[in-house]
């Protein structure tokens, strides 16, 4: 059984074993409780972490930057056109330079291939803070949140309604690792990528998780313990927004849809939400909505992840 994640990358979530997932979630919970109880541990004092952002961010930037500060690590945030990968510098050269300065690199970018290429070249841990294909840090936070609210992950029925996007992919992999029943309801033509589904099914075969994808939001939500959704047009797809509004008709998470879920079911959204599109005000503002716990847990999950990959778990 693995006992350390020192030096490891987190690029999809699918590279973890179920034990390694626990290696992140367990300290995330205990360190969160310790923090709330007033304990302060700057276990990563003296380290530096680069945070490269090629897309906008509120939660990711703040949670990584504050997380670094709480660990005693120095965050170096590079966003916009003046940041890393400007002036046609190659991915390889950028990685070889950055590894000389920092102890870990967090990247939010477009192509998954860029972060894979970067991680291949880079000798320090690389963490995916969202690409077009995956958002593993969000799903670590979401799993922590589900476990806090429901007391378990295994056998929880987790429904995701909407676009078969980066969040859907990461829910598939994370849910499979955690032994959940993952049900996706996506419009025709907006299903998750087949290779991600195959990967998730392979993990599920070993963990006892189940994976079900349909084009019917009601089928996904019926009897679910958690219902999640995400924007219909992700960053980089802004020009498709109008066309997607029609394609996603019937996929809004409203009170009627939530009514099909298990009594007491929770609502989740990684945020930012587009109220009136993928979710109604009534649902996102309901007592059963745990979207802000989810946002807070980005900080706790990522703090635990960073201390592990930096090898600073003390």
Given the rule CB under 6 A, which residues bind ligand NVA?
130, 135, 165-167, 230-231, 234-235, 270
CA distance 248 to 246: 5
CA distance 239 to 271: 20
What is the nearest approach in angstroms of ligand CP to the Cβ of residue 60?
A: 3
Question: Could you say whether residue 178 binds ligand CP (CB under 6 A)?
Answer: no
Of ligand NVA, ligand CP, none, which one does residue 234 interact with (CB within 5 to 8 Å by kind)?
ligand NVA
Question: Could you say whether residue 57 binds ligand CP (CB under 6 A)?
Answer: yes
Closest CA to 186 of 255, 138, 250, 279: 250
Q: Which among 20-28, 34-42, 55-63, 110-118 is the span making contact with ligand CP, rule CB under 6 A?
A: 55-63
CA distance 298 to 292: 10
Nearer to ligand CP, 135 or 209 (CB): 135
| Stretch 267-306: interaction string toward ligand CP, x if CB under 6 A | ---xx-----------------------------------
276 sits in the region (left: phi over 0; alpha: psi -120 to 50; else beta) called: left
Closest CA to 257 of 293, 232, 284: 284
Question: Pick the catalytic residue: 270, 300, 302, 312?
Answer: 270
What is the nearest approach in angstroms of ligand CP to the Cβ of residue 53?
A: 9
CB 181 within 8 A of CB 210: yes
Burial of 22 (0-12, 13-18, 19+ CB in 10 A): middle
Select the residue whose beta carbon is closest to ligand CP and give its number: 60
Q: How far is CA 117 from CA 85, 112, 126, 127, in A?
A: 13, 9, 11, 13
User: Which residues, other chains included, contact 152 with Cβ-Cβ below 8 Å and sequence gap of 6+?
Assistant: none
What is the nearest approach in angstroms of ligand CP to the Cβ of residue 54?
A: 12
Q: Which of 10, 102, 106, 130 binds ligand CP (CB under 6 A)?
A: 130
What is the nearest approach in angstroms of ligand NVA to the Cβ of residue 232?
A: 9
Closest CA to 304 of 71, 47, 106: 71
Local structure of residue 196 (DSSP, 8 states): H
138 is catalytic: yes
Question: Could you say whether residue 109 binds ligand CP (CB under 6 A)?
Answer: no
Question: Pick the catalytic residue: 8, 199, 298, 300?
Answer: 298
H helix or E strand, kind and range, residue 74: strand 74-79
Question: Pick the catalytic residue: 8, 59, 61, 135?
Answer: 135
Nearer to ligand CP, 172 or 209 (CB): 172
Nearer to ligand CP, 258 or 295 (CB): 295
The phi, psi pair for 308, rounded to 5°, reads -65, -50
Of ligand NVA, ligand CP, none, which one does residue 69 interact with (CB within 5 to 8 Å by kind)?
none
What is the nearest approach in angstroms of ligand CP to the Cβ of residue 205?
A: 30
What is the nearest approach in angstroms of ligand NVA to the Cβ of residue 60?
A: 7
Interface with ligand CP by CB under 6 A: which residues?
Answer: 57-60, 130, 138, 270-271
Catalytic residue positions, numbered: 108, 135, 138, 230, 270, 298
């Amino acid at each position: 059984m693995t006992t350390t994640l020192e030096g490891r990358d987190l690029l999809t979530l699918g590279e973890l074993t179920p034990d390694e997932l626990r290696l992140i979630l367990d300290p995330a919970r205990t360190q969160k409780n310790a923090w709330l109880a007033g304990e302060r541990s700057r276990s990563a004092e003296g380290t530096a972490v680069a945070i490269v952002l090629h897309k906008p961010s509120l939660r990711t930037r703040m949670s990584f930057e504050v997380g670094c500060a709480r660990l005693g690590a120095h965050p170096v945030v590079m966003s916009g056109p003046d940041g890393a990968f400007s002036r046609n510098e190659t991915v390889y050269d950028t990685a070889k330079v950055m590894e000389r300065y920092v102890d870990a690199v967090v990247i939010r970018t477009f192509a998954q291939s860029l972060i894979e290429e970067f991680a291949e070249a880079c000798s320090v841990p690389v963490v995916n803070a969202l690409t077009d294909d995956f958002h593993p840090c969000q799903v670590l936070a979401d799993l922590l949140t589900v476990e806090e609210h429901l007391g378990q992950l295994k056998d929880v029925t987790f429904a995701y309604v909407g676009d078969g996007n980066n969040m859907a992919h990461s829910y598939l992999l994370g849910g499979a690792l955690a032994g959940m029943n993952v049900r996706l309801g996506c419009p025709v033509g907006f299903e998750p990528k087949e290779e991600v589904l195959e990967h998730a099914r392979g993990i599920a075969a070993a963990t006892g998780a189940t994976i079900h994808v349909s084009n019917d939001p009601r089928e996904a939500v019926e009897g679910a313990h958690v219902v999640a959704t995400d924007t219909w047009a992700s960053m980089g797809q802004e020009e498709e927004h109008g066309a997607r509004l029609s394609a996603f008709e019937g996929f809004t998470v409203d009170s009627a849809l939530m009514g099909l879920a298990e009594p007491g079911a929770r609502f989740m959204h990684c945020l930012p939400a587009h109220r009136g599109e993928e979710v109604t005000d009534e649902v996102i503002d309901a007592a059963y909505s745990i979207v802000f716990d989810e946002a807070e847990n980005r900080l706790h999950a990522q703090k635990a992840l960073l201390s592990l990959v930096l090898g600073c778990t003390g």
